[in-house]
Structure 1
Amino acid sequence: MLALTLAGLLLALFIPLLVPGTAPRAAALGNGLAPTPQMGFNDWNAYGCNVSESLIKSTALAMHNNGMQTAGYSYVNIDDCWMTHSRDAAGRLVPDPAKFPDGISGTASYVHSLGLKLGIYEDAGTATCAGYPGSLGHETTDAQTFASWGVDYLKYDNCNNTGVPAQTRYTAMRDALASTGRPILFSLCNWGQENVWTWGAGVGNSWRTTGDINASFSSMLSIFHSNVGLASYAGPGHWNDPDMLEVGNGSLTAAESQSEFSLWAEMAAPLIAGTNVASASAATLSVLTNSRVIAVDQDSLGKQGTMVSTSNGLDVLAKPLANGDVSVALFNETGSAATISTTAAAIGKTGSSGYTLTDLWSGAVSSTAGTISASVPAHGTAMYRVAGGSSGGGTSATGEIHAVGAGKCLDVPNSSTTAGTQVDIWSCGGGSNQIWTHTAANQLSVYSGSSQLCLDAYNNQTSAGTKVETWPCNGQPNQQWTVNSDGSITGVQSGLCLDVTGASTANGALAELWTCNGGSNQQWTLG
């Protein structure tokens, strides 16, 4: 197993983790596409089945002229309902001649002439979600057809799948696309089913982690909670996809639209606009084209941000960036304005010379000795880029934490999600109560989304024998843990070691803080 050392943490990002009930997590697809999350447009959120050549062309032209293309949006994607209800005599898909008089190839030529790329939609079942011919059993023909038309992107849905395992169906299309010789970005849309994040990297460039989004704050919030805990599965060429942007749609307020864009960027998500681009308001375009926020999403380090703390609907996320800066999002889930605060130390920064904060929405620059705080409106998000000092690790790793002396795993008893549960050791089983993430902020977290908890030294105590428990993540020093090259894990606040009480090797033996002594009951590995 991989030793939990500083070097090991770096390696852990690239070595597959064993996930219960699955094969080892696959390496990235390696087709050279999506080194940063893809950016573009998709017609479904705003138009549903009312797609047409004229819509796609007018949208592409608008993106070319309104600053979106310059900001990085490159794909113009056709969703469902673009084809006829029957294949031709040779078994090929047929573009609806009324909707696409120049065919998909003609539409692609126009989009390409503007320096943009064309995407198309199909389904990994017998029929699309709207009832048009699906690609199940026709993968080779359809992939060759898409390539011949000049398609650059395939969104592959999951309706009418006849119960065939998703990995089988999506892998078949992956191989068919590869055989065409044309680079086609492969976007898996299986709604987060079958733990797609555990195998998606070897099959596609991105994978939906949830069901469909809609233009409401409640939908966006639910999807955020589902996606935010999956950071360890994302990276260059393979991204968690919390669905298309609803910025500019429905009843979303300005603060809610800004939150969605901030959070998607912080989570290194694909930025696929889903609004009427040709008639988008100046306010909508100002969100979609904010270069400072886009730079966080498109950062070349390729790290998805993680939750540093969450308390009563007030969330702090941190995302390490390639130049050593850290992006911080302060998200207010509640219905009232609130002050949200964190510290440079909590987000993984060290140093005593102070820090520079750039407000990514206003552009204002300020300085701080370490406190990062803002008054955030209801459903709003403040977002900063923190420069200065040095990054305290800037990496995360996920897996079981093995107690070397006992040959067992650090465990939350009975899979409890109750704050204050003292952790123990138990025979390793790979359950979610034994899967820990060591974050860039030096926390050890368990579970994800709204259930996420952090390893915590009880009541900020620093004496030998202090119990080690789970508690809502808050970024405080009693939830920060230093991973040492000798295999020990020490509490930042206390300097004491994570210890199996009495050097017991029995299931249920409790963990505590104890004076570091080099014993095997204070040796841990992650993997």
Structure 2
Amino acid sequence: MVGLQHQQATELGRVEPVAVTSNQIAVPPAPMGWASWNTFAAKIDYNVIKGQVDAFVAAGLPEAGYKYINLDEGWWQGTRDSAGNITIDESEWPGGMSAIADYIHSKGLKAGIYTDAGKDGCGYYFPTGRPAAPGSGSEGHYERDMLQFSKWGFDYVKVDWCGGDVEGLDAKSTYQAISDAAAKASATTERPLTLSICNWGKQNPWNWGAGMAALWRTNTDIIFHGNAPSWTSMLANYDANVHPSAQHTGYYNDPDMLMVGLDGFTAAQNRSHMNLWAISGAPLLAGNNLATMSTETANILKNPEVIAVDQDPRGLQGVKVAEDTTGLQVYGKVLSGTGKRAVVLLNRTSSAQNMTVRWSDLGLTGASATVRNLWTRSDVGSFGTSYTVSVPARDSVILTVTGGTEAASTTYEAEAAANTKAGSAANATCANCSGGTKVGGVGNGAANTLRFNSVAAGATGTKVVDIAYTNGGSAARTARLQVNGQQATTVSFPPTGSWTTPGTVSVVVSLAKGSANSLTFSNSSAWAPDLDAIEVRPLPGANGTQVVGRQSNRCLDIDNNTITNGIQAQLWDCQGGENQSWTNTSRKELVVYGNKCLDAYNRGTSDGTRVVIWDCNGQTNQQWNVNADGTITNAGLCLDASGATTANATKLVLWTCNGGNNQKWTLP
């Protein structure tokens, strides 16, 4: 059971929430600010940064919500004194690094700094404007460096992966050590130090980043030094950012810095860039030269309605809810409050197209809702079931849909005993509960586990779960959430004001069709939130299906939520995760993560051809026939569990159809 101690709960008279969504608690927003790399690479010093700070303030970016000034690579060339402390070239940084941090703070802003997880940083392996700098990483000095950054006055640290990658370090344990060091430094100086993990999506940080850092990179650099910004690179980083269940309660997927305002991007491309980052709820870190920024660029960066979508207090990531025609994609994001959605209509094709967003795909009923265009900043009307608009080629439109009626949801009240509450749809069980006390009200310092059993879903796919809780403390408390047997994630529960004032935070989960789902919250500490109930909301446009082997009763699965092109599909226990939720499109595709297609590798047509995932491209090796006899075929061959085995991790291949049950599949 996850909860505060029993004595405390009963003395304070904990109350049940009237409705799970009655008091949405704002979670820490994704960072907004400016970072030096995209414009200056390693050529930074005090005067460069001071000039950008002054331009940042003059442009009115702080009033728009931007607050971080982040120094990237190049501020340090890897020198240390005999005690191991970082030493600085004070001809470039007069007064040392504390002086620039103080200047940033004097403007009411927050200061960020940069290092590498390895011994040698990116400036050693990829020198850009400065000589190769050995020793410019923090490996072996994590605690010393994090404390130094905090003492200098920095509020944010980005930790890159050049050295870590070359050295073959384990990313999860390495960044955990860095996270621990940052937390220790913060406790010593009483200055919170926001950690940004920058390992480019290597080793799947979306599986373990939440609770370790505020944000983690999901792909390579959006622009490499010396290259011009491109529509293609922007979409590539956006597409790699498809991990909605990882992003919640103040933890964010990071598709990298903005290219808005860089030479080579048009105003329309800048707006689309903002649209896509906003619907993702991504960090907004500008990278253009602020001293030469045009008024047009400044206004794009400062659009308050687009920023409000990005910074929405619910803190969720938008998901793809429709692609009726290849390249015409509709993304929806659940906003705070009731009946509110943000929508991006993305036209990837080479001609203008009419595009439609349907309320039903967004989890709303057919009741009338108001549509607003966020760039014209005007309402376009009230519509009953959908809205259609022309979207230019390689462009997008961002909207809000408000005033709609939420589709039916289900509330699961947490009880120590079996269901007795009217309308309850599931059992909730707990370990270490005492005396039949309401679940969520005990703890006694023991390892606590609360499980919501028999959670129902009408279809496999993405749902929004609102979690009702109380936290009368002064700081956020955490619990680990595991859905079915999927990868667990750390959920943060900010203070609600008192132990008698319930609030809610939200997460995105992927459930399996049926009523066998379970959501388990656990915490090994008495310092846990007091959980009351959950409410499960559908997002029908993000529904898929599991593909279940008849012989194995296991699911078509992509290992460890990996999104890399070429990873081979396998069998695994059915858990309903994003890596097992497949959309069978009218184009005969089987799509996972919203943008990866099941693919016969290299257009293979022979026995043993590996079946992998790849960017959807419309080729025939991504077109599958789902047949009445249970087979799934491509190029006349059957999707086959290799060797007719049934074990987890059995790889999938194409093979001559032979009627075997290892070639038969069910799409429930």
In the TM superposition, what whole-angstrom CA distance separates every residue of 1:261-313 from its partner, at most 9, and x where no partner exists? 10001001000001001221111111100000000010011110000112321
User: Would you say 1:236 and 2:249 are equivalent positions?
Assistant: yes
Q: Among 140, 148, 153, which residue is 1:150 paired with?
A: 153
Q: What secondary structure sits across from 2:233 in the alignment?
A: helix
Q: Is the 8 A contact 1:191 1:209 kept in 2?
A: yes
Aligned to 1:139: 142
> Corresponding residue for 2:68?
75
Superposed counterparts of 1:261-300, under 5 Å: 261-300=274-313
Question: Aligned with 1:362: secondary structure?
Answer: coil
CA contact (8 A) 1:400 1:435 kept: no
SS at match of 2:245: helix
Letter of the 2:86 partner, please give it. L
Tell me how far apart the structure 2 counterparts of residues 512 and 430 of structure 1 sit (CA, whole Å): 14
Structure 1 residue 369: Cα displacement = 2.0
Bigger shift: residues 366-375 or 173-182: 366-375
Amino acid of the residue matched to residue 32 of structure 2? Answer: M
Relative to structure 1, the CA distance from residue 434 to residue 235 in structure 2 (aligned partners, 3 Å threshold; closer, same or farther) is closer
Residues 1:365 and 2:405 aligned together = no
Percent of pairs with identical residues: 36
Distance 1:86 1:287, change over 3 A: same
Q: CA deviation at 1:452?
A: 6.2
Report if the CA contact (8 A) 1:118-1:153 is conserved: yes
1:211 aligns with 2:220: yes
- Equivalent in the alignment of 1:339: 354
The aligned residue for residue 105 of structure 1 is: 98
Which has the higher mean CA deviation after the structures are superposed, 32-41 or 363-372? 32-41
AA of the residue aligned to 2:270: S
Gaps of 5+ in 2: 1-19, 125-132, 224-228, 410-462, 465-507, 518-544, 550-554, 559-569, 584-589, 599-626, 633-660
The structure whose residues are more often helix, as a share, is: 1
From 447, 454, 459, the equivalent of 2:592 is 447
Contact 1:43 1:78 in 2 (8 A): yes
Distance in 2 (CA, whole Å) between partners of 1:426 and 1:170 is 30
Aligned counterpart, 2:162: 159
Alignment match, 2:259: 246
Q: Name the CA shift for 1:303/1:416 in 2 (closer, same or farther; >3 Å).
A: closer
- The number of residues matched between the two structures is 420
Q: Pick closer, same or farther for the CA change 1:348–1:111 going to 2, 3 Å.
A: same
Q: What secondary structure does 1:202 align onto?
A: coil
Q: Which consecutive residues of structure 1, in runs of 5 or more, have no partner in the other structure?
A: 1-9, 12-31, 418-424, 439-444, 454-464, 471-505, 514-527
TM-aligned CA deviation for residue 363 of structure 1: 0.7
Where does 1:82-97 land on structure 2 (aligned, <5 Å)? 82-97=75-90
Alpha-carbon distance in structure 1 between the residues aligned to 2:162 and 2:219 = 14
Which residue does 1:376 correspond to in 2?
391
8 Å Cα contact 1:401/1:436 also seen in 2: no
- Distance, in Å, in 1 between the alignment partners of 2:27 and 2:86 is 27
- Residue 168 of structure 1 corresponds to 173
3-state SS, counterpart of residue 97 of structure 1: coil
**SS of 1:345 mapped into structure 2:** helix
User: In the superposition, relative to structure 1, how do residues 351 and 339 fare at CA in structure 2: closer, same or farther (>3 Å)?
Assistant: closer
With structure 1 as the length reference, what TM-score do the two structures score? Answer: 0.73
| Structure 1 pair 434–318 and aligned structure 2 pair: CA distance change class (3 A) | closer
Q: Match for residue 356 of structure 1?
A: 370
In the superposition, relative to structure 1, how do residues 251 and 163 fare at CA in structure 2: closer, same or farther (>3 Å)? same
Cα distance in structure 2, aligned partners of 1:60 and 1:467: 66
Tell me: CA distance 1:96–1:447, structure 2 relative to 1, closer, same or farther (3 Å): farther
Q: Would the alpha carbon gap of residues 77 and 308 (structure 1) be closer, same or farther in structure 2, given more than 3 Å must change?
A: same
Distance between the aligned counterparts of 1:274 and 1:169, measured in 2?
28
| Cα drift, residue 416 of structure 1 | 9.8
Q: Matched residue of 1:341: which SS?
A: strand
Q: Determine the structure 2 residue equivalent to 1:519.
A: none
Distance change (3 Å), C-alpha of 1:433 and 1:384: closer
| 2:115–2:121 contact (8 Å) kept in structure 1 | yes
Amino acid aligned to 2:210: A
Measured after TM superposition, the shift of residue 335 of structure 1 is 2.4
> Could you say which residue in structure 2 is the equivalent of 1:316?
330
Cα drift, residue 316 of structure 1: 0.3
Q: 1:323 to 1:452 in 2, by over 3 A?
A: farther
Q: Is the 8 A contact 2:320 2:329 kept in 1?
A: yes
Q: Which residue of 1 aligns with 2:345?
A: 330
TM-score w.r.t. length of structure 2: 0.59
Q: Secondary structure at the match of 2:137?
A: coil
Q: Which structure has greater strand proportion?
A: 2
Q: Which residue of 2 aligns with 1:397?
A: 509
Shift of residue 62, structure 1, vs aligned partner: 1.8
Map of 2:580 onto structure 1: 435
User: Stretches of 4+ moved more than 3 A in 1?
Assistant: 399-405, 412-417, 429-434, 465-470, 506-513
Deviation at 1:436, TM superposition (A): 2.7
CA RMSD of aligned residues (A): 3.2
Distance 1:342 1:468 in 2: 33
Contact 2:354 2:389 in 1 (8 A): yes
CA contact (8 A) 1:296 1:321 kept: yes
1:197 aligns with 2:190: no
